[in-house]
A and B are shown apart, each in its own frame.
Chain A
Amino acid sequence: MDTPPTRLIRLLQLGDTETALRADSIWKCVSCQTCSTRCPKSVDCAAVMDALRQLAFQRGSAAAAERRTVVFQKAFLNNIRRNGRLNEIELIAAFKGEVFFRGRSVPFLFEDAGLAGQLQKRRKLHLRGEKVRDRGVVQRIFERAAGGAQ
């Protein structure tokens, strides 16, 4: 992490939002909530991280769009929007496809290919996935929440 949560909060206190938005750490953050839990001043740092990610994402900054975590999360939300519930195979295909399209990294494309067989053997892969019956309402919820990831 280039800028730990304490320093990010300080940057924001000083009004330097731009530097905070460029920090690598907002994309490295795993949302473990430890910073919010331990802050002696009760600053909800994890929520601040969320806010910074959303701001960077909404501004359409190229750095944000290139992040694998963002590509993954966008693919995740698109999947939920379509099905109401997660279809893991569709998600992985969409995510890997998009990362490959952007970076042409063949090793990344096949990085976890071996896992598919392993999961299949353990009856952990669902080829068809689940869908809610009323997918219309899910789509309307996403539309009303627009401004976010679509």
Chain B
Amino acid sequence: MNFGYYPGCALHGSSNDYEQSLRVCLTALGVGLKEIDEWVCCGATAAHSLNHKLAVALPARNLALAHAQGFAEMLAPCPMCSMQLLRAQQAVEHDPQLRTEISSMVEAKVDGGPRVLNLIQIFDRIGLDALKAAVQQPLKDLKPACYYGCLLVRPPTVVEFDDAEQPQSMEAVMMALGAKPVAWNYKTECCGAGMTMASPETVLELSGRILANAAAHGANCLVVACPMCHVNLDMRQAAIEEHTGKKFGLPVYYLTDAVGMALGLSTRELGADRHFVVAGKEA
């Protein structure tokens, strides 16, 4: 099984542990990823906040590149990128005039482009039965709080994935691995996302509530599929503990870390030893 791959800036930057985990885990499952040549940043929150045209044009160029490079399907493991790609795709799909305008703007023929998939959809594609069969070390001691954050499921009209209020797809993957996901309340609340640098206090407050709710429901770790969520919950966890006066010590795994560990890969191979909060070790 092969997919085009749009890493986005985070996975080639300080979230390179996510890319390592993703590649190692998917390779073990026989999934090949081929990076889109010359991909550009999707513009993220900065573009959609300050310049609507850019927020369509930048993702549209990536869709056009991927299409020209022959990809029918493309994994965008960062939910911000994946939502922006889908949003641009829908905008040009429904508006032929915009399609022409954006095509000349980005100097590439924009006509829909490949199907954009998030990480969980790749595991759907592999199939939960196949995943279950590949498990070497069931994660029977893991009680994860599966954290979706915002953009995996919202806005539902754009991402058309799972249930916007009560998603269950990550829990299904975790159960296939033998883990016991907890029921909790904050799985789709915002962690503060792109405010990490500009307004750390927002992140401390919002992410603090998420960690507290996960802990209160008996979770012994969190599982995420978003690089920004990971930064806020893992890298900022010590600051959150200081801010809230509560000690959490909750490791935050990428979904591919969890799958990889169940396949028998080590945290070192997966890059999970590079997280800030490491299980069984003081940060």
Instruction: Identify the A interface with B (CB < 8 A).
Output: 28, 30-34, 36-37, 44, 46, 50-51, 53-54, 57, 68-74, 76-77, 80, 84-86, 88, 92, 95, 111-112, 115, 118-119, 122-126, 129-130, 132-134, 137-138, 140-142, 144-145, 147-149
Contacts and interface: CB of A to CB of B under 8 A. Distances in A.
B50 A53 contact: yes
B14 A88 contact: yes
B198 A95 contact: yes
B198 A118 contact: no
Contacts of A57: 50
Interface of B: 9-10, 12-17, 38-41, 43-54, 57-58, 61, 105-107, 150-151, 154-156, 164, 188-190, 192-195, 197-200, 202, 206, 235, 274-276
Contacts of A28: 202
Given A85-B9, A85-B41, A124-B16, A141 B54 contact: yes
Contacts of B192: 30
Contacts of A69: 49, 195, 198-199
Contacts of B193: 30-32
A34 B12 contact: no
Contact of A37 (B50, B156, B189): B156
A71 B49 CA distance: 12
A92 B169 CA distance: 35
Contact of A32 (B38, B53, B190): B190
Contacts of B198: 68-69, 71-73, 95
Given A30-B193, A95-B197, A77 B54 contact: yes
Nearest to B58: A141
Given A86-B41, A132-B40, A144 B17 contact: no
A77 B47 contact: yes
Contacts of A95: 197-198
A86 B38 contact: no
Given A37-B154, A68-B199, A31 B51 contact: no
Contacts of B199: 68-69
Nearest to B55: A50
